[in-house]
Structure 1
């Protein structure tokens, strides 16, 4: 399945602006879990990305919550005493947000809150009876007062994982997160699986379920500028729309890389070994082709126009070179001929470059790298001239 829609977890609000911009470069859409009535307060960059390309898709988790709730109810009732010794909420501080999202259930003593619309009544009743939750009406989102089902972060983490996996199954969306140390706890969410997870007995997932997401993230991150935070959102939107065909080819390459690693590791139970297979598939399908494409493009000698045209040693300022080309009284017919010959040569090279990029499965990555890489003032001046000549990237 080609990359189309990611399913963001474990929060409603996208917290890392840099990650949001990166995600917008490899997900056509990003779905997120938004319970009915939840007061969404998005950051300005998130709003701009969404308004420019319809990036975000809100999904109500109610049906998924109702599907996974019976297993959690059974696990709580069958293991009430053991769970109470680990996850009891009495005399603990409620912060209204998770303190962390590690690869295993959090151990912080602070409590967190689930929005009531994503917790079926029978599950909430079972949690309260076991001493694992209570209602809190004091916390606010923005200026709106919100009621929370207060629980231990370890319970919230497991419950969010179960809802996310159920939503992913129902929608064919791929789970993805901006919490770099987080992995989705996957598996059959039976009552036994829930109990094992809540009591710390579950074996960490290998990572196959998120391999495609991670492959795409690795590819995009390798071409992003270090200061992506300062790249305007409208540039991201333009890349998403202008190079749709190349994006589709890139998605297919990610899918092929993922299929290779999944096929080679279907019996692998060692996480470190799986990570090596993942890196190997990434190198073969994406990193090495990108390096070859870079070298091929560089081999076309696509020098910036101003360096090709400014043949007088004393003319080093782009504006001076431009005046010399476009009609300075000292320009000779020979110089003009050289200039147009240079333009014709560069146009041919540019056409070859575009053909190579369009036919490459990693051409989209090169577009991202070139479009978002900061340019010096001198290079920007050269690009202006190149675009007027119809040869600019």
Structure 2
């Protein structure tokens, strides 16, 4: 059974609406880390995607937080001076703006805030004692004022990744994010790795834990229109429900492809090399089958079927022609021919449906066809074809 739940990080609120639409075309559910008491304020497309579908699942990180906090306490206590030299907040307390969510790659000396329920008391005390954190009430979520543990963005990001990895281990959810470079920020977060990451001495990991999420998003995005923002949310929801069996077959294919590449690269330690293996598996298991399916579908030329059913009167029939020969039955025969043509088109359409349903990438073709921008004339033509039972 393919994994159907992604674990979104590092934020609570999804930041990119186009990314959220793409994610909804693969993940049956998308879990997100929501500490107890956090005031969730979804709006717009995110709210529409979640309405009546249960797409988003709020997951309390309390147990994961309790599991990873001791390693951070150890890392900070053992390296307080070096960490303070890089991430001290006291001298920036009144001169720096700060954000209520961590940034991936800080470009300024701005600070950020962690929600207190994500920071156990012992860890918060150590952070404060080392000059790496302070409490602030300045920022709100929605209309609710919230207390924050204010820290350097790099420290916050590292902590968020550790929580996510532990939560993924406990839930078997697959870490997924809309932050471009975040897929490599996974792995076991020991005190040594925390120290190495914060002080810049850690060896980059290859990102095997997030390989399935990356593979899935590569596959989905290869069939999406250029501007997904203008695709109605209800189309996304309909695709998720109307083609549930093909959706499941595609998810299984992604998981199988990911398992193949991860199993074959256990000894690979170079991130660039691993990315090449991942791309190769994507091409072999998903991109090439999709192209083959496209070619097979194009081989069924439904629009030309009528040309094989035209009537050619014999040249020996006297001048009255075909209408004289058929008499009053001409209309009935013509109607019969039309029904025969329609039946032929329907048979070809069933063959197309069978091809799509039997392919592990059939769901991708459905997405490509359904979301491709179309003219009014093409939309009308597709509506008529579906009414006649010959459109996919």
TM-score normalised by the chain length of structure 1: 0.89
Q: Is the 8 A contact 1:304 1:382 kept in 2?
A: no
Cα distance in 1 between the residues matched to 2:107 and 2:370: 43
Structure 2 portions without partners, runs of 5+:
311-329
The residue correspondences of 1:371-386 to structure 2 (distance < 5 A) are 371-386=370-385
Matched, 1:40 2:43: no
Counterpart contact for 2:223–2:368, Cα < 8 Å: yes
Distance 1:31 1:164 in 2: 11
Could you tell me which residue of structure 2 aligns to residue 101 of structure 1?
Answer: 104
Mapped contact 1:165–1:186 kept (Cα < 8 A)? yes
Is 1:161–1:184's contact at 8 Å kept on the other side of the alignment?
no
Q: Check whether the contact 1:304–1:386 (CA below 8 A) recurs between aligned residues.
A: no
Q: Aligned partners of 2:98 and 2:63: how far apart in 1?
A: 27
Shift of 1:184: 4.4
Counterpart in 1 of 2:299?
299
Contact residue 11 and residue 101 of structure 2 kept, 8 A: no
Distance in 2, Cα, partners of 1:168 & 1:239: 27
Question: Is the alpha carbon distance of 1:195 and 1:107 closer, same or farther for their aligned partners in structure 2, counting shifts above 3 Å?
Answer: farther
Alpha-carbon separation, structure 1, partners of 2:189 and 2:283? 34
Instruction: Mark the structure with the bigger radius of gyration.
Output: 2
Structure 2 partner of 1:52 = 52
Instruction: Note the alpha carbon deviations across 1:73-111, whole angstroms, 9 max, x for none.
Output: 111111110000000002321422457314xxx463100
How many Å separate the matches in 2 of 1:188 and 1:215? 21
CA distance in 1, matches of 2:13, 2:44: 12
CA deviation digits over 1:272-319, x for unaligned, max 9? 2111111111111000000000110111113399x98xx9xxxxxxxx
CA-based RMSD: 2.0
Cα distance in 2, alignment partners of residues 43 and 18 from structure 1 = 14
Equivalent in the alignment of 2:268: 268
CA distance in 1, matches of 2:302, 2:108: 56
The aligned counterpart of 1:320 is none
**Structure 2 counterpart of 1:323:** none
Offset of residue 51 of structure 1: 1.2
For residue 91 of structure 1, give the secondary structure of its aligned residue in structure 2.
helix
> Contact 1:132–1:152 (CA<8 Å) still a contact in 2?
yes
Distance 1:54 1:79 in 2: 44
Structure 2 CA distance for aligned equivalents of residues 260 and 341 of structure 1:
48
Which residue in 2 is equivalent to 1:284? 284
Paired residue secondary structure (2:183) = coil
In structure 1, C-alpha distance between the alignment counterparts of 2:231 and 2:225, rounded to whole Å: 9
Q: What is the CA-CA distance between 1:185 and the residue it aligns to?
A: 2.2
- Distance in 1, matches of 2:120 and 2:233, equals 38
Q: Closer, same or farther in 2 for the Cα pair 1:251/1:274, shift >3 Å?
A: same
> Which has the larger displacement, 281-290 or 228-237?
228-237
Alignment of 1:71-82 (within 5 A): 71-82=71-82
TM-score, normalised relative to structure 2:
0.90
Cα 1:377–1:337 change in 2 (3 A) is: farther
2:187 aligns with 187
Q: Which runs of 4 or more aligned residues in structure 1 lie more than 6 Å from their structure 2 counterparts after TM superposition?
A: none
Between the aligned partners of 1:227 and 1:332, the Cα distance in structure 2 is 49
Q: Aligned partners of 2:67 and 2:387: how far apart in 1?
A: 59
In 1, Cα distance between equivalents of 2:15 and 2:262: 31
| Alignment CA distance shift 1:137-1:97 (3 Å) | closer
Question: What displacement does 1:269 show?
Answer: 1.5
1:9 is aligned to 2:9:
yes
The count of residues paired between Structure 1 and Structure 2 equals: 369
**1:244 is matched with which residue?**
244
Q: 1:182: Cα distance to partner?
A: 2.1
Unpaired runs of 5+ residues, structure 1, are: 312-330
Cα distance change on mapping 1:126 and 1:145 into 2, 3 Å: same
Shift of 1:133: 0.2
